[in-house]
Amino acid sequence: MAKPARSPTAEALPAAEKSRSAVGSGLRSLASAASGFLDRWSVVGTGVSRLEKTLGDQFPEGEHYFGLENFGNTCYCNSVLQALYYCIPFREQLLEYYANYRNPGDAEENLLTCLADLFAQISLSKKKTGVISPKRFVHRVRKQNELFRSNMHQDAHEFLNFLLNEIVDILEKEFSTVKDSPESTSPGGVANGEVYHLANEVRREPLVTWVHKNFQGILTNETKCLMCETVTAKDETFLDLSIDIEQNSSLTSCLKSFFSTEILNAEDKFFCDNCCSLQEAQKRMKIKKAPQILVIHLKRFKFIEQLSQHKKLSYRVVYPMELKLSSASDDVDCEYSLFAVVVHVGNAANHGHYVSQIKSGDHWLSFDDDSVDKIQESTLQTFYGSSREYSGNSDHGYILFYESVAKS
Ligand SMILES: [Zn+2]
Protein backbone atom coordinates (compact mmCIF):
# COMPACT_ATOMS: atom_id res chain seq x y z
CA MET A 1 0.00 0.00 0.00
CA ALA A 2 1.22 3.46 -0.82
CA LYS A 3 2.24 5.58 2.09
CA PRO A 4 0.95 9.13 2.47
CA ALA A 5 3.43 11.93 2.09
CA ARG A 6 5.22 12.57 5.32
CA SER A 7 5.62 15.89 6.90
CA PRO A 8 7.57 16.76 9.99
CA THR A 9 5.26 16.84 12.94
CA ALA A 10 5.33 20.27 14.46
CA GLU A 11 5.21 19.08 18.02
CA ALA A 12 8.11 16.72 17.55
CA LEU A 13 10.42 19.08 15.76
CA PRO A 14 9.67 22.80 15.85
CA ALA A 15 11.01 24.54 12.75
CA ALA A 16 12.88 27.05 14.84
CA GLU A 17 14.83 24.21 16.40
CA LYS A 18 16.20 22.91 13.15
CA SER A 19 19.43 24.84 13.35
CA ARG A 20 22.45 22.59 13.50
CA SER A 21 24.87 25.05 14.97
CA ALA A 22 24.94 23.87 18.56
CA VAL A 23 25.48 20.22 19.38
CA GLY A 24 22.04 18.87 18.77
CA SER A 25 19.76 21.77 19.47
CA GLY A 26 17.27 19.75 17.43
CA LEU A 27 18.03 16.75 19.56
CA ARG A 28 17.37 18.66 22.72
CA SER A 29 14.04 19.81 21.40
CA LEU A 30 13.13 16.22 20.60
CA ALA A 31 14.21 15.11 24.00
CA SER A 32 12.37 17.84 25.79
CA ALA A 33 9.25 17.25 23.74
CA ALA A 34 9.20 13.65 24.81
CA SER A 35 10.45 13.72 28.32
CA GLY A 36 10.94 17.32 29.31
CA PHE A 37 9.88 17.41 32.91
CA LEU A 38 11.09 13.88 33.59
CA ASP A 39 14.58 15.01 32.69
CA ARG A 40 14.50 17.64 35.39
CA TRP A 41 13.41 15.02 37.88
CA SER A 42 16.23 12.69 37.05
CA VAL A 43 18.82 15.30 37.95
CA VAL A 44 18.16 14.64 41.58
CA GLY A 45 17.77 10.94 40.79
CA THR A 46 19.90 8.08 41.93
CA GLY A 47 23.47 7.29 40.97
CA VAL A 48 25.74 9.50 38.92
CA SER A 49 27.96 7.32 36.76
CA ARG A 50 31.72 7.24 36.92
CA LEU A 51 31.91 8.84 33.48
CA GLU A 52 29.60 11.66 34.59
CA LYS A 53 31.84 12.26 37.59
CA THR A 54 34.96 12.23 35.43
CA LEU A 55 33.51 14.70 32.94
CA GLY A 56 31.81 16.90 35.53
CA ASP A 57 31.04 20.29 34.03
CA GLN A 58 32.55 19.19 30.72
CA PHE A 59 29.62 16.85 30.05
CA PRO A 60 28.05 18.47 26.97
CA GLU A 61 24.50 19.65 27.55
CA GLY A 62 21.91 17.32 26.07
CA GLU A 63 24.51 14.69 25.12
CA HIS A 64 24.38 11.01 26.02
CA TYR A 65 27.14 8.42 26.27
CA PHE A 66 25.79 4.91 26.11
CA GLY A 67 27.66 1.66 25.73
CA LEU A 68 26.19 -1.02 23.47
CA GLU A 69 25.74 -4.58 24.57
CA ASN A 70 27.62 -7.25 22.60
CA PHE A 71 25.75 -10.36 21.44
CA GLY A 72 28.79 -12.44 20.58
CA ASN A 73 31.19 -10.78 18.16
CA THR A 74 28.90 -7.85 17.39
CA CYS A 75 31.65 -5.35 18.19
CA TYR A 76 32.04 -4.68 14.43
CA CYS A 77 28.49 -3.33 14.55
CA ASN A 78 28.77 -1.50 17.88
CA SER A 79 31.96 0.33 16.92
CA VAL A 80 30.45 1.59 13.67
CA LEU A 81 27.14 2.56 15.29
CA GLN A 82 28.97 4.67 17.86
CA ALA A 83 30.98 6.47 15.17
CA LEU A 84 27.76 7.19 13.28
CA TYR A 85 25.94 8.34 16.41
CA TYR A 86 28.60 10.99 17.07
CA CYS A 87 28.53 12.06 13.45
CA ILE A 88 26.19 14.90 14.41
CA PRO A 89 24.66 15.75 10.99
CA PHE A 90 23.95 12.07 10.38
CA ARG A 91 22.39 11.67 13.83
CA GLU A 92 20.21 14.75 13.44
CA GLN A 93 18.90 13.62 10.07
CA LEU A 94 18.17 10.19 11.43
CA LEU A 95 16.29 11.61 14.42
CA GLU A 96 14.36 13.87 12.11
CA TYR A 97 13.48 10.78 10.11
CA TYR A 98 12.43 9.11 13.35
CA ALA A 99 10.15 12.04 14.23
CA ASN A 100 8.52 11.78 10.79
CA TYR A 101 8.08 8.07 10.40
CA ARG A 102 6.40 7.60 13.71
CA ASN A 103 3.15 8.71 12.20
CA PRO A 104 0.24 6.36 12.80
CA GLY A 105 -0.10 3.55 10.30
CA ASP A 106 3.48 3.86 9.26
CA ALA A 107 4.78 0.87 11.04
CA GLU A 108 6.69 -1.34 8.63
CA GLU A 109 10.00 -2.25 10.25
CA ASN A 110 13.22 -2.11 8.29
CA LEU A 111 16.90 -1.56 8.99
CA LEU A 112 16.48 2.21 8.90
CA THR A 113 13.56 2.30 11.34
CA CYS A 114 15.49 -0.04 13.67
CA LEU A 115 18.51 2.27 13.52
CA ALA A 116 16.34 5.35 14.05
CA ASP A 117 14.68 3.69 17.04
CA LEU A 118 18.07 2.86 18.52
CA PHE A 119 19.40 6.40 18.09
CA ALA A 120 16.19 7.86 19.51
CA GLN A 121 16.38 5.50 22.47
CA ILE A 122 19.82 6.91 23.30
CA SER A 123 19.07 10.56 22.60
CA LEU A 124 15.73 10.55 24.43
CA SER A 125 17.09 8.76 27.45
CA LYS A 126 16.61 10.47 30.78
CA LYS A 127 19.94 9.09 31.86
CA LYS A 128 23.11 10.64 30.51
CA THR A 129 25.08 7.41 30.54
CA GLY A 130 24.31 3.72 30.60
CA VAL A 131 24.17 0.65 28.40
CA ILE A 132 21.69 -0.03 25.64
CA SER A 133 21.00 -3.28 23.90
CA PRO A 134 20.90 -2.95 20.10
CA LYS A 135 19.22 -6.36 19.91
CA ARG A 136 16.45 -5.48 17.49
CA PHE A 137 18.87 -3.70 15.16
CA VAL A 138 21.37 -6.58 15.16
CA HIS A 139 18.53 -9.04 14.63
CA ARG A 140 17.41 -7.00 11.63
CA VAL A 141 20.96 -6.85 10.21
CA ARG A 142 21.22 -10.63 10.44
CA LYS A 143 17.81 -11.12 8.89
CA GLN A 144 18.73 -8.87 6.00
CA ASN A 145 22.24 -10.07 5.23
CA GLU A 146 23.48 -13.60 5.71
CA LEU A 147 27.08 -12.35 5.76
CA PHE A 148 26.43 -11.05 9.26
CA ARG A 149 24.32 -13.97 10.42
CA SER A 150 27.04 -16.05 11.99
CA ASN A 151 28.81 -15.30 15.23
CA MET A 152 32.12 -15.10 13.35
CA HIS A 153 34.36 -12.05 13.32
CA GLN A 154 33.12 -9.53 10.78
CA ASP A 155 34.65 -6.66 8.93
CA ALA A 156 33.52 -3.31 10.35
CA HIS A 157 34.15 -1.57 7.05
CA GLU A 158 32.02 -4.06 5.15
CA PHE A 159 29.31 -3.48 7.70
CA LEU A 160 29.48 0.31 7.40
CA ASN A 161 29.22 -0.03 3.64
CA PHE A 162 26.29 -2.38 3.85
CA LEU A 163 24.48 -0.16 6.34
CA LEU A 164 24.85 3.10 4.41
CA ASN A 165 23.87 1.50 1.11
CA GLU A 166 20.91 -0.19 2.73
CA ILE A 167 19.70 3.13 4.16
CA VAL A 168 20.04 4.73 0.74
CA ASP A 169 17.97 1.91 -0.81
CA ILE A 170 15.24 2.29 1.79
CA LEU A 171 15.10 6.09 1.36
CA GLU A 172 14.98 5.75 -2.42
CA LYS A 173 12.21 3.17 -2.20
CA GLU A 174 10.22 5.37 0.17
CA PHE A 175 10.70 8.34 -2.07
CA SER A 176 9.46 6.52 -5.15
CA THR A 177 6.47 5.23 -3.17
CA VAL A 178 5.59 8.76 -2.14
CA LYS A 179 6.10 9.97 -5.69
CA ASP A 180 3.93 7.26 -7.26
CA SER A 181 1.21 7.56 -4.67
CA PRO A 182 -2.12 8.74 -6.13
CA GLU A 183 -3.02 9.98 -2.64
CA SER A 184 -0.15 12.39 -2.74
CA THR A 185 -1.91 15.68 -3.26
CA SER A 186 0.98 18.05 -2.89
CA PRO A 187 3.30 18.59 -5.83
CA GLY A 188 6.31 17.76 -3.67
CA GLY A 189 7.20 14.47 -2.08
CA VAL A 190 8.76 14.54 1.31
CA ALA A 191 11.62 12.22 1.98
CA ASN A 192 12.95 12.75 5.45
CA GLY A 193 12.14 16.36 5.77
CA GLU A 194 13.54 17.21 2.34
CA VAL A 195 11.00 18.44 -0.14
CA TYR A 196 11.59 17.35 -3.70
CA HIS A 197 9.62 19.26 -6.27
CA LEU A 198 8.07 16.95 -8.73
CA ALA A 199 6.10 19.42 -10.81
CA ASN A 200 8.43 18.95 -13.74
CA GLU A 201 9.07 15.28 -13.76
CA VAL A 202 11.33 15.38 -16.77
CA ARG A 203 14.34 15.55 -14.53
CA ARG A 204 15.50 12.03 -13.78
CA GLU A 205 18.54 12.68 -11.69
CA PRO A 206 19.42 10.20 -8.98
CA LEU A 207 17.83 11.06 -5.66
CA VAL A 208 20.22 12.77 -3.26
CA THR A 209 19.37 11.44 0.18
CA TRP A 210 20.76 12.76 3.43
CA VAL A 211 23.18 9.85 3.44
CA HIS A 212 24.57 11.18 0.17
CA LYS A 213 24.60 14.74 1.50
CA ASN A 214 26.73 13.65 4.42
CA PHE A 215 29.05 11.03 2.98
CA GLN A 216 29.07 11.19 -0.79
CA GLY A 217 31.93 12.62 -2.76
CA ILE A 218 32.76 12.40 -6.45
CA LEU A 219 36.01 11.17 -7.95
CA THR A 220 37.01 11.79 -11.51
CA ASN A 221 38.96 9.00 -13.08
CA GLU A 222 41.07 10.48 -15.88
CA THR A 223 42.86 8.40 -18.46
CA LYS A 224 45.12 9.96 -21.03
CA CYS A 225 46.15 7.92 -24.07
CA LEU A 226 49.90 8.34 -24.51
CA MET A 227 49.60 7.84 -28.25
CA CYS A 228 46.94 10.39 -29.22
CA GLU A 229 46.78 12.28 -25.91
CA THR A 230 43.00 12.06 -25.76
CA VAL A 231 41.76 12.34 -22.19
CA THR A 232 38.84 10.17 -21.12
CA ALA A 233 37.19 11.25 -17.87
CA LYS A 234 34.71 9.27 -15.89
CA ASP A 235 33.06 10.34 -12.66
CA GLU A 236 32.35 7.93 -9.88
CA THR A 237 30.69 8.55 -6.55
CA PHE A 238 31.94 7.21 -3.25
CA LEU A 239 30.73 7.00 0.33
CA ASP A 240 34.22 6.27 1.62
CA LEU A 241 37.75 5.98 0.27
CA SER A 242 39.61 2.68 0.60
CA ILE A 243 43.30 3.47 0.74
CA ASP A 244 46.30 1.17 0.31
CA ILE A 245 48.75 1.59 3.16
CA GLU A 246 52.53 1.41 3.43
CA GLN A 247 54.78 0.70 6.40
CA ASN A 248 55.93 3.74 8.40
CA SER A 249 53.89 6.18 6.43
CA SER A 250 51.22 8.78 7.04
CA LEU A 251 47.65 9.08 5.90
CA THR A 252 48.69 12.12 3.90
CA SER A 253 51.33 10.16 1.98
CA CYS A 254 48.97 7.22 1.42
CA LEU A 255 46.40 9.64 0.01
CA LYS A 256 49.09 11.15 -2.16
CA SER A 257 49.79 7.72 -3.66
CA PHE A 258 46.07 7.18 -4.11
CA PHE A 259 45.82 10.35 -6.18
CA SER A 260 49.13 9.91 -7.99
CA THR A 261 49.49 9.27 -11.69
CA GLU A 262 49.72 5.66 -12.69
CA ILE A 263 51.03 4.35 -16.00
CA LEU A 264 48.99 1.67 -17.71
CA ASN A 265 51.28 -0.45 -19.84
CA ALA A 266 52.33 -4.01 -20.66
CA GLU A 267 49.46 -6.32 -19.64
CA ASP A 268 47.53 -3.39 -18.35
CA LYS A 269 47.11 -1.26 -21.47
CA PHE A 270 44.09 0.91 -22.02
CA PHE A 271 41.70 0.60 -24.95
CA CYS A 272 41.63 4.03 -26.55
CA ASP A 273 38.44 4.73 -28.47
CA ASN A 274 40.23 7.30 -30.57
CA CYS A 275 43.10 5.02 -31.61
CA CYS A 276 40.75 2.01 -31.68
CA SER A 277 43.45 -0.10 -30.07
CA LEU A 278 45.20 -0.90 -26.80
CA GLN A 279 47.62 1.85 -25.87
CA GLU A 280 49.82 2.89 -23.03
CA ALA A 281 48.07 5.46 -20.91
CA GLN A 282 48.34 7.69 -17.86
CA LYS A 283 45.68 7.27 -15.26
CA ARG A 284 44.85 9.36 -12.24
CA MET A 285 42.08 10.07 -9.79
CA LYS A 286 40.96 13.51 -8.82
CA ILE A 287 38.48 14.70 -6.27
CA LYS A 288 35.67 16.46 -8.07
CA LYS A 289 33.45 16.94 -5.05
CA ALA A 290 34.75 16.48 -1.54
CA PRO A 291 32.30 14.94 0.92
CA GLN A 292 31.04 16.65 4.05
CA ILE A 293 32.07 13.64 6.12
CA LEU A 294 35.18 11.95 4.78
CA VAL A 295 35.39 8.29 5.74
CA ILE A 296 38.76 6.67 5.09
CA HIS A 297 39.18 2.93 5.18
CA LEU A 298 42.80 1.87 5.66
CA LYS A 299 43.23 -1.41 3.80
CA ARG A 300 44.76 -3.38 6.64
CA PHE A 301 43.42 -6.71 5.50
CA LYS A 302 45.33 -7.90 2.50
CA PHE A 303 44.50 -11.00 0.55
CA ILE A 304 47.59 -13.21 0.20
CA GLU A 305 47.11 -15.43 -2.81
CA GLN A 306 49.68 -18.07 -1.82
CA LEU A 307 47.85 -18.58 1.48
CA SER A 308 44.44 -17.87 -0.06
CA GLN A 309 43.54 -15.93 3.04
CA HIS A 310 43.66 -12.43 4.43
CA LYS A 311 46.55 -11.17 6.46
CA LYS A 312 46.42 -8.17 8.75
CA LEU A 313 48.91 -5.40 8.03
CA SER A 314 49.93 -3.85 11.32
CA TYR A 315 51.78 -1.04 9.48
CA ARG A 316 52.27 2.21 11.28
CA VAL A 317 50.21 4.85 9.49
CA VAL A 318 50.10 8.22 11.23
CA TYR A 319 46.81 10.05 10.78
CA PRO A 320 46.54 13.74 11.54
CA MET A 321 43.87 15.46 13.63
CA GLU A 322 43.46 18.05 10.89
CA LEU A 323 43.62 16.79 7.33
CA LYS A 324 43.86 18.75 4.15
CA LEU A 325 42.42 16.92 1.19
CA SER A 326 43.87 18.29 -1.98
CA SER A 327 44.21 16.68 -5.34
CA ALA A 328 46.72 18.66 -7.35
CA SER A 329 45.83 21.33 -9.94
CA ASP A 330 42.22 21.36 -8.78
CA ASP A 331 40.18 23.95 -6.95
CA VAL A 332 39.00 21.36 -4.49
CA ASP A 333 40.81 21.99 -1.27
CA CYS A 334 39.02 20.79 1.78
CA GLU A 335 39.99 20.85 5.41
CA TYR A 336 38.84 18.16 7.76
CA SER A 337 38.95 17.42 11.43
CA LEU A 338 39.14 13.89 12.85
CA PHE A 339 36.18 12.93 15.04
CA ALA A 340 36.14 9.12 15.15
CA VAL A 341 38.45 6.17 14.69
CA VAL A 342 37.26 2.58 14.51
CA VAL A 343 40.14 0.50 15.84
CA HIS A 344 40.75 -3.16 15.03
CA VAL A 345 42.30 -5.04 17.93
CA GLY A 346 44.18 -8.26 17.22
CA ASN A 347 46.89 -9.65 14.97
CA ALA A 348 44.76 -11.71 12.60
CA ALA A 349 42.29 -10.79 9.93
CA ASN A 350 39.66 -13.34 10.83
CA HIS A 351 39.34 -12.69 14.53
CA GLY A 352 39.83 -9.87 16.98
CA HIS A 353 37.83 -7.03 18.40
CA TYR A 354 36.68 -3.55 17.44
CA VAL A 355 36.48 -0.42 19.57
CA SER A 356 35.84 3.22 18.68
CA GLN A 357 37.65 6.38 19.78
CA ILE A 358 35.30 9.30 19.40
CA LYS A 359 35.45 13.03 19.88
CA SER A 360 32.45 14.61 21.53
CA GLY A 361 32.46 18.20 22.64
CA ASP A 362 36.04 18.98 23.60
CA HIS A 363 37.08 15.54 24.71
CA TRP A 364 37.76 12.06 23.38
CA LEU A 365 36.00 8.93 24.55
CA SER A 366 36.74 5.27 24.08
CA PHE A 367 33.70 3.10 23.30
CA ASP A 368 34.32 -0.58 23.89
CA ASP A 369 30.98 -2.39 23.59
CA ASP A 370 29.19 -1.70 26.87
CA SER A 371 31.87 0.51 28.42
CA VAL A 372 32.61 4.15 27.72
CA ASP A 373 35.65 5.94 29.11
CA LYS A 374 37.23 9.33 28.75
CA ILE A 375 40.66 9.25 27.12
CA GLN A 376 43.35 11.79 26.40
CA GLU A 377 43.69 12.95 22.81
CA SER A 378 47.29 11.69 22.87
CA THR A 379 45.97 8.13 23.35
CA LEU A 380 44.98 8.21 19.68
CA GLN A 381 48.67 7.97 18.79
CA THR A 382 48.77 4.45 20.21
CA PHE A 383 46.50 3.30 17.37
CA TYR A 384 48.77 4.37 14.51
CA GLY A 385 50.20 0.87 14.14
CA SER A 386 53.51 -0.84 14.65
CA SER A 387 56.76 0.09 12.98
CA ARG A 388 57.90 -3.54 13.30
CA GLU A 389 55.93 -6.66 12.50
CA TYR A 390 54.92 -8.84 15.48
CA SER A 391 55.23 -6.10 18.04
CA GLY A 392 53.09 -6.31 21.15
CA ASN A 393 50.72 -3.60 20.00
CA SER A 394 47.78 -5.00 18.10
CA ASP A 395 45.34 -2.05 18.24
CA HIS A 396 45.28 -0.31 14.90
CA GLY A 397 43.24 2.53 13.45
CA TYR A 398 41.10 1.01 10.70
CA ILE A 399 38.30 3.40 9.70
CA LEU A 400 38.84 7.13 10.11
CA PHE A 401 35.99 9.64 10.19
CA TYR A 402 36.77 13.25 9.33
CA GLU A 403 34.30 16.12 9.19
CA SER A 404 34.71 19.08 6.95
CA VAL A 405 35.54 22.31 8.75
CA ALA A 406 34.76 25.72 7.37
CA LYS A 407 37.86 27.52 6.14
CA SER A 408 38.65 30.65 8.09
ZN1 LIG B 1 44.67 7.11 -28.31
The residues with which 336 forms a beta bridge, in sequence order, are: 323, 404
Distance between Cα 266 and ligand 1 center (Å): 16
Secondary structure of residue 227 in the 3-state scheme: coil
- What CATH number did the domain enclosing 88 receive? 3.90.70.10
Q: What is the pLDDT of residue 332?
A: 59
List, in order, residues 6 or more apart from 215 with CB less than 8 Å away. 90, 164, 239, 240, 291, 292, 293, 295
Give the pLDDT confidence score for residue 183 in this predicted structure.
53
For this structure, is 228 an active site residue?
no
Determine the pLDDT at residue 52. Answer: 92
- Is 237 part of a structural domain of the chain? no
For residue 151, which amino acid is it? N
Neighbours of 359 (CB within 10 A): 19
* Secondary structure letter of residue 205 according to DSSP: P
- The rounded Å distance from CA 231 to ligand 1 centre is 9
Rounded to the nearest angstrom, the distance between the alpha carbon of 216 and the centre of ligand 1 is 32
Asked whether 228 and 132 are in contact (CB, 8 A), the reply is: no
Average pLDDT of adjacent 10-residue blocks, the chain of 408 residues: 37 34 43 40 58 92 95 92 97 92 68 94 95 94 88 90 95 81 47 46 70 95 96 95 96 94 93 95 92 96 89 94 74 85 91 95 96 96 88 90 82
Distance 265 CA to ligand 1 centre (A): 13
For the chain, the domain total comes to 1
Is 341 inside any structural domain? yes
**CA dist., res. 347 & res. 324, Å (int):** 31
In a domain, 273, yes or no: no
Of these residues, 297, 344, 353, 396, which one is catalytic? 353
Strands (E) in 52-141, as ranges, are 65-68, 129-132
120 within 8 A of 114, measured Cβ to Cβ: no
Give dist(CA 269, CA 211) in Å, integer.
36
DSSP letter for each residue of 15-71: GGGG--SSTTHHHHHHHHHHHHHHHHHHHTSSPPPHHHHHHGGGS-TT--EEEE--S
pLDDT for 13 equals 33
- Tell me what pLDDT residue 141 has: 93
- With contact defined as beta carbons under 8 Å apart, do 169 and 112 qualify? no
CA-CA-CA-CA torsion for 201, 202, 204, 205, nearest 10 degrees?
-90
Kindly give the distance from the C-alpha atom of residue 244 to the centroid of ligand 1, in angstroms, as a whole number: 29
Range of the domain at 113: 63-168+209-218+243-250+292-404
Among 147, 189, 149, which Cα is nearest to 172's?
Answer: 189
Ligand 1 geometric centre to CA of 310 (Å): 38
Q: 139 in a domain, yes or no?
A: yes
In a domain, 283, yes or no: no
CA gyration radius, the chain:
23
Let me know: does 84 contact 91? Beta carbons within 8 Å.
yes
Rounded distance from Cα 288 to ligand 1 centre (Å) = 24
pLDDT at 41: 36
Cα angle 144-145-151, degrees, rounded to a multiple of 5: 115
Distance from the CA of 267 to the center of ligand 1, in angstroms? 17
Residue 298 DSSP SS3: strand
User: In the chain, count of helices (H) and strands (E)?
Assistant: 9, 22
Structural contact between residues 190 and 5, judged by C-beta atoms closer than 8 angstroms: yes
Whether 29 is covered by a domain: the verdict is: no
Give whole-number Cα distances, 324 to 212, 215, 333, 336, 407, in Å: 21, 17, 7, 6, 11
Gap from CA of 270 to ligand 1 centroid (Å): 9
Judge whether 31 and 39 are in contact, CB under 8 Å: yes
Is residue 264 included in any domain, yes or no? no
- Is 342 part of any domain? yes
375 CA distance to ligand 1 centroid (A)?
56
Choose the catalytic residue: 64, 75, 254, 334.
75
Q: State the pLDDT at residue 103.
A: 58
Q: What is the chain's length?
A: 408
Distance of CA 232 from the midpoint of ligand 1 (Å): 10
Centroid of ligand 1 to alpha carbon of 332 (angstroms): 28
Q: 353 an active-site residue?
A: yes
Residues near 46 by beta carbon (within 8 Å), at least 6 away in sequence:
none
